[in-house]
Structure 1
Amino acid sequence: MSIVRCPLLIGVVGPTATGKTAVGIELAKRIDGEIVSADSMAVYRLMDIGTAKPKPEERQGVAFHLIDVVWPDEEFSVASYRRLALEVISRILSGGKVPILVGGTGLYVKAVVGDLGIPEVPPNRALRERFRAEAESLGNMHLFERLKAVDPVTAGRLHPNDLKRVIRALEVYELSGVPLSQHRSLKCGPGCDVALFGLTMSRQALYKRIEQRVDEQIARGLLDEVKSLLEKGYSPDLPSMKGLGYKQIAGYLRGEFDLDQAIQLIKRDTRRYAKRQFTWFKSDPRIQWIDVEDKSTSEVADEIVTKVKMTGLITEKLGSA
């Protein structure tokens, strides 16, 4: 049966290795959804094995967004993510589908579904000095035109020579990813309701999954992936190259420790990361937790659909095939 929906975003969050992506794919197939990744490492191109991106054939025809966005040496901030995520979510909703936010990067999830009514954007002295230098070398109109491009509403009420306010508006946009004019009305998409689900399991089971995943990544060629990145000139000091798996394998390739030590470090650091993720998401009372330890991916997806139906946000259209 087809499903009639209110404007809705569903979030599938939780620690690494709990099966979020697989559940997201099954859920998308059931409710005509598209996946919006909330993984700070999946945004990087050329980094596939260590980030556990699903292969095209594993996506089963489900559309994925915000993976392979930038090269490993490009800057990509939470503000950048929020700006792109809100644009993608709005497009998905406009197309009559359900955006499914899937990932374990807490800041990314919060950027989309957190309390963003009037975010505090503290002054950034270095950024302001950079803007002032641009105004001195290129003129006030240069900054004003930049503001018009990203926040025409605010630009429309400012004079080009009101440099202080022009710089502040640019600063807010640069640091938050949201135009100053939209801060008071920012929502998750146009009138979008949010249902958040967290996947969990016993610590023993989770740690076993983490160890299995790391072993699988090594078998799939993580060593060659990191070696290829280094050969392409990507520095091990880049933020992207300090991600789990990449940092430790790069250390092995530089002779800092042997391969077995590198693998054990990946497993240890991933366990620690999973613990931090769980702590982060547990602080959000909106998340409905599902113990997935003894459930199949399909069973978890069905449970999420059932729980959302109970809220009245989705209903089945009677009489449909």
Structure 2
Amino acid sequence: MSREPAPPLLVIAGPTAAGKSACAVEAALACGGEVVGADSMQLYRGMDIGTGKIRPPEMRGVAHHMIDVWEPEERGSAGRYLRQAREAIAAVHRRGRLPILCGGTGLYIRAVVEGLAEGTARDPAVERELEGRLRREGAARLHAELAARDPAAAARIPPSDRFRLVRALGVCLATGRPFTEIQRQATRPGGYAVRYLCLTRPRERLYRRIERRVEGMFRDGLVDEVARLAPRLGPTAREAIGYRECLRLLAGECTEAEAVAAVQRASRRYAKRQLTWFRAVPGARFVDLEEPDALARILEEARTLARAGA
């Protein structure tokens, strides 16, 4: 008895400002696809300028999903994203079209493709935030938070075991589920036939694009956007690059020039971390968008995958 072929999934990943969104639209137009966002901050409604969210005219009629689905007050998690993204992907498949998972949040992409287990559920950014809180607030405060979210984990992890405390609480925050539940029952892999593309540019060119993009965000009204959203920004949203720096600016803690420089610096560091993440992805194919045949290669990958899944 023959098995059903695995449903296709094209992943277009890469560092911030590389040009992923435009390439995903081109791929969707070429092969009859729909885009599913994989950017942890573009999920939030109203956070448009600072996240570089694609605008309706730029979508060129291509359906986009997993953008503007959460309120700024809500805490994001890989577990919540996984459930919603897989539902969106399944709906695209039912329409007979190719889902294109596009974004730069490596943890969220890995959750969709591989499922969530303790290892895949760990988010380095969340753990860094917790390590900072550990220094400022002390282990007892974090242990009490773990006890509220996962009493079983708190019962077996003493406050003195700081490594396991940060790991367990970090998984709770990243996934929205108890650490012990993640350990006990991992989410299964998505079962997709995946083609994983990572779009890159030479470092100096990428950094120049980042710097110009940040300057454009401030010209386009990023500070006003943050001022409007400030009362509603929850613990996840207020840590987004661009938003935390503008909150400091609005509080009078820095000048606009200093805020611009800080966002540029944080964005360059983030791009470096993203590239480190994607280089570790087995089977990822890297495409330098400065190469003259880059777009043609992306479109051919999309068409090949779409034909295989037809």
The TM-score normalised by the length of structure 2 is 0.75
Tell me the equivalent position of 2:96. Answer: 96
Partner of residue 127 from structure 1, selected from 149, 173, 190: 149
Q: Decide whether the 8 Å contact of 2:17 with 2:210 is kept in 1.
A: yes
Q: What's the CA shift for 1:32?
A: 0.7
Matches within 5 A, 1:1-321: 7-114=7-114, 125-129=147-151, 174-175=177-178, 183=186, 186-188=188-190, 192-230=192-230, 233-235=231-233, 238-295=235-292, 300-307=294-301, 314=307
Unaligned runs of 5+ in 1: 131-171
The TM-score normalised by the length of structure 1 is 0.73
Compare the two structures and name the one with the higher helix fraction.
2
Q: What's the CA shift for 1:305?
A: 3.0
Q: What's the CA shift for 1:55?
A: 1.0
Larger Rg belongs to: 1
Where has structure 1 moved over 6 Å in runs of 4 or more?
117-122, 178-182
Q: Is the alpha carbon distance of 1:276 and 1:179 closer, same or farther for their aligned partners in structure 2, counting shifts above 3 Å?
A: closer
Aligned equivalents of 1:293 and 1:243: distance in 2?
A: 28
Q: Is the alpha carbon distance of 1:83 and 1:192 closer, same or farther for their aligned partners in structure 2, counting shifts above 3 Å?
A: same
Q: What's the CA shift for 1:71?
A: 1.1
Q: Decide whether the 8 Å contact of 1:121 with 1:175 is kept in 2.
A: no
Matched-pair identity in %: 38
**Structure 1 stretch 210-219 or stretch 299-308: which is displaced more?**
299-308
Q: Is the alpha carbon distance of 1:246 and 1:116 closer, same or farther for their aligned partners in structure 2, counting shifts above 3 Å?
A: closer
Q: What's the CA shift for 1:118?
A: 9.5
Unaligned runs of 5+ in 2: 123-145, 153-174
Q: Is the alpha carbon distance of 1:241 and 1:128 closer, same or farther for their aligned partners in structure 2, counting shifts above 3 Å?
A: closer
Q: What's the CA shift for 1:215?
A: 1.0
Aligned length: 260
SS state at 1:9 partner? strand
Aligned equivalents of 1:316 and 1:194: distance in 2?
A: 11
Aligned equivalents of 1:252 and 1:173: distance in 2?
A: 31
Q: What's the CA shift for 1:113?
A: 1.3
Amino acid paired to 1:45 = R
* Aligned CA-pair RMSD: 3.0
SS state at 1:11 partner? strand
